[in-house]
Chains A and B, each alone.
Chain A
Amino acid sequence: MKVHEYQGKEIFRKHGIITPEGIPAFSVDESLVAYDKLGSETVVVKSQIHAGGRGKGGGVKLAHSRHEVESLAKEMLGMTLITHQTGPKGKEVQRLLIESRADIRLEFYAAITLDRGKEMDVFMVSIEGGVEIEKVAAETPEKIVKVWIDPLLGMKSYQARKLAFGLNLTGNAFKEAISIFLKMYACYQSTDASLMEINPLILTGDDHILALDSKFNFDGNALFRQKEISDMRDLSEEDPMEIEAGNYNLNYIKLDGNVGCMVNGAGLAMATMDIIKLAGGEPANFLDVGGTASAETVNNGFRIILSDKHVKAVLINIFGGIVRCDRVANGVVQAVKELGLDVPVVVRLEGTNAEEAQAILRKSGVSIIPAVGMKDAAEKVVKAALGA
């Protein structure tokens, strides 16, 4: 799960990580109230969307007066912001952050994330702040300093010192950086973050360290114990069909093709998308209906797949294990009858009671194209999609 920059900064402040003063605003009026409250003449007006690259896309601008805040807020709220992370459709700006302008002397990068290979969290800093870290990693990897944190011991002071030395800091800034790094790790741990990034972390003209940005990813599996974080979820940033699927306990991701698919199990669902592509089609979605695949889940799955008007044919691919194929077949027949589908449906059922299931489909009277094996299923559904 992601949160907005202003929400990330609220989390930072709770953990003692210093940020510039800022106030979120959802309207032009609120932007002006925020400006008055901040009391500094020059402020930064920052679009709040769940994607990076906002500055380059025109979503972050300086305002030198109340009047400029007003015109910028009018311009930004409701505009579609396109960055390298939003995709070509962009995202509508619905929230702003009005923030005091900081006096930037140097820009750094700081982040904590999981190193899957080392099976430990890694804390990275770089003197190259404000730019894409992937680029730094590729071109000048020596400019990134890393420490790996023992999960049972936690972060140690010498590790924080290594990071601060890596940024060539001295004096007060050195001390503040160490304190911030230790607080960042504590914050990362206590919020169940899977990524925490500050880009840029800055050194101010008067020798202080400040978090000028915030980026978080939180572990979805840990939200049960992170109520404050899960309350920050902004549903308007997510695909409405994916949210609805989540309400049915289905795992759905919309794609751009026209062949819908419904599969039990995430790995098999990916492999089904892949074989549709190999057969010359384009998958319209990823949909994992989970281990049970009852009549109800099949029904809900159909509703979600077919709400995408590009879908010209649907492939149901179920490998029955504990779930019996004859039950799934009954569910499919029932759903097709109820929903009165107008797209061809190819069904491949394998595993427990597969033969009985084929018989049920044949006798049902509904127009279902049976398939044997994944190759056959993919070829049939792609052909059906072309014919429709």
Chain B
Amino acid sequence: MSILINKDSKVVVQGITGSEGQFHAGQMLDYGTQIVAGVTPGKGGQATLDDRVPVFNSVEDAVEQTGADTSIIFVPPPFAAEAVIEASFSGISVVVCITEGVPVHDMVKVKRVVNQNGTHLIGPNCPGIITVDECKLGIMPGFICKKGSIGVISKSGTLTYEAIDQLVNVGLGQTTAIGIGGDPIIGTTMKDCLKLFEEDPETEGVVIIGEIGGQMEIEAARWAKDTMSKPVIGFIAGQTAPPGRRMGHAGAIVSGGDDTAEAKMRILGECGLGVAESVADIGELMQNAMKQI
């Protein structure tokens, strides 16, 4: 088991003929991901990646002809919102949007659409999701992961890799690692992911990697406190971030209230989560939490 994706996921790559799409579709195929189709409007009927993947003009065509149920999006920011909407209305159930720089006004509308259609959107501005040894749907280096029992949820890319690396170093493998994205509006929240990990019988503990800005970590921690039966530990990046400045991610900004690293760490602690003071402590902290079960 795992969450959202597994070896049976049939993937369509939107924007497969662009340079990013080509490169990462190749990497995903090498990992073992079942890529059944690509979409580039106007290039339908062609095949790409050494003729391994057929290209369609629309997601609808790809779904009809290949049974694709999952999509990953590598299209430029002006077109990314529409790509999500197209996937959602074509019956795709899990959509991962890698694109960074999607206007927030577009995302507010997209979020409403995916909620209405019951689509699981991950991202945008995220590294994607990986179910170890089964399906990689993103740009993360697959080889750093090891199969195991920890779920990883993170707003960041390379910081997720850091956390995974530390877990592996203390002998903890992962079920699924999910980069939810660093934008103000994202498809799947930390709480959504925690719920999925709680329901997944293979997952025994969860790491959440948050950062300054927004209330998502707090919402997740409060939910975990009331409902979660599995140990959860957390780390929040941005203790030294100056207020009012956007730290790389569009959503990483301290704008008053409980959105500082300090406030989030305090509330996570109050909710009974293990809190890593230092980024270097993530692996060890999870290891200790697992020993206590």
Contact = CB atoms under 8 A, between A and B. Distances in A.
A binds B: yes
A351 B214 CA distance: 30
B27 A274 contact: no
B108 A120 contact: yes
B250 A319 contact: no
Given A267-B211, A268-B158, A134 B248 contact: no
B103 A222 contact: yes
Given A267-B237, A351-B141, A352-B141, A375 B256 contact: no
A116 B251 contact: yes
B67 interface: no
B105 A278 contact: no
Nearest to B241: A270
A321 interface: yes
Nearest to B160: A267
Contacts of A253: 242, 245, 247
Interface stretch (B9-17, B49-57, B86-94, B272-280): B272-280
Given A221-B77, A373-B280, A267 B105 contact: no
B184 A114 contact: yes
B249 interface: yes
Contacts, number: 164
Contacts of A352: 141, 143
A280 B247 CA distance: 22
A339 interface: no
Contacts of A213: none
Contact of B238 (A117, A274, A291): A274
A330 to B, nearest CB: 19
Contacts of A263: 158
A235 interface: no
B263 interface: no
Nearest to B280: A375
20 contacts: A117-B219, A220-B246, A221-B101, A225-B78, A264-B158, A267-B155, A267-B157, A268-B162, A270-B238, A271-B162, A273-B239, A275-B278, A286-B247, A319-B161, A319-B162, A320-B141, A321-B139, A322-B141, A352-B143, A375-B278
Interface of B: 23, 27, 77-78, 101-105, 108-109, 111-113, 139-141, 143-144, 154-162, 165, 182, 184-185, 209, 211-212, 214-215, 219, 235, 237-242, 245-252, 256, 261, 277-280
Closest 8 pairs (CB-CB, A-B): A267-B156, A266-B248, A265-B158, A267-B159, A222-B103, A321-B141, A375-B280, A270-B237
Interface of A: 114, 116-117, 119-121, 134, 150-152, 189, 192, 194, 219-222, 224-225, 251, 253, 255, 263-278, 283, 286, 288, 291, 319-322, 350-352, 373-375, 378
Given A266-B252, A268-B158, A270-B238, 6 more contacts: A119-B108, A192-B105, A253-B245, A267-B248, A273-B239, A291-B157
